[in-house]
Amino acid sequence: MLLLVSLVLVASPTMAQDAPQIDRIEQLVRSADFAAAETQAQAALASGKLKRRDVARTYLQLGIVATAKRADDPAQAAFRRALALEPSLTLPDSAGPHIGEAFDQAKAVMARSPRLAVSAHLTEVPNRPAEPPRNLGRRPDFGR
């Protein structure tokens, strides 16, 4: 029994270091350490190393943090970014009712918003003779 407990204690710091960044951010939000969660989330986004789904999960956590801080506009912006990247995202079960209301509001806005569609129309341009390069074989005169 003592050996098992000591193995768990020794292994815990290593496991925490190996946990993906978004998992740490989610844990900080669950424990209501909003300042640390926000700092780590911003750093994770700035790193440019997150996969699309993890970027969406990070914005979801930023939305939860902003809602908990009663910062409605940043919360809505974060939730909409998360939903734009991953429309199937859901809140964790631990989210309170006011967070659920804010998230539902962002989902409603996204549902009413037109989806971004990219299209291109190519037009043929008649060939024009190329202009000969200027100053070939001459050095430019710099005011001499």
Q: How many domains does the chain have?
A: 1
Q: What CATH number does residue 97 fall under?
A: 1.25.40
d(CA 47, CA 143): 48
The pLDDT score that the predictor gives to residue 11 is: 42
Q: Per the structure block, which two tokens stand in for 19?
A: 């946990």
The runs of H, that is alpha helices, within the chain are 2-18, 21-30, 34-47, 52-68, 72-85, 97-112
Query: Is residue 130 assigned to a domain?
Result: no
Q: How far is CA 37 from CA 27, 93, 102, 110, 142, in A?
A: 8, 18, 19, 25, 58
Domain presence at residue 128: no
State residue 9's pLDDT score.
Answer: 41
Digitized pLDDT (tens) for each residue of the chain, 144 residues in all: 444 444 344 444 433 433 489 999 999 999 999 999 999 999 999 999 999 999 999 999 999 999 999 999 999 999 999 999 999 999 999 889 999 999 999 999 999 987 766 677 777 777 776 676 666 666 666 665
In a domain? residue 139: no
* 6 located within any domain: no
